[in-house]
Amino acid sequence: MASFFVKVFITYRKGILDPQGVAVEKAAHQLGFTSVKNVRVGKYVTMEIEAETEEEVKREIEEMAKRFLVNPVIEEYSYEIERAEG
């Protein structure tokens, strides 16, 4: 059994209003950062998963995303997997 560190990035799908992103963009402009545009705010989830292979980790992440991490109607996700040393 090996340990894998997983980072899951969840954001609104393109075309879905992101109220937090709008607020951050407005604040940036008010503070003089006028070149900022198209701000998107999302969720960042980290976890450690014990598994035999990276493929097994991918299957678990996909299943968790489908079942409870992501609302597929309005959100999309990506992830990174890193094998833990030691």
Which tens digits make up the pLDDT trace of 48-85?
999 999 999 999 999 999 999 999 999 999 999 999 87
AA identity, residue 7 = K
- pLDDT category of residue 32 using cuts at 50, 70 and 90: very high
The predicted model scores a pTM of 0.87
Per-residue confidence (pLDDT) for residue 2, from 0 to 100: 95
Structural domain count of the chain: 1
pLDDT of residue 40: 95
Domain that holds residue 54: 1-11+46-86
Distance of CA 20 to the CA centre of its chain: 15
**Residue 50, domain member (yes or no):** yes
Tell me whether residue 54 is in a domain.
yes
State the pLDDT confidence band at 86, using cuts at 50, 70 and 90: low
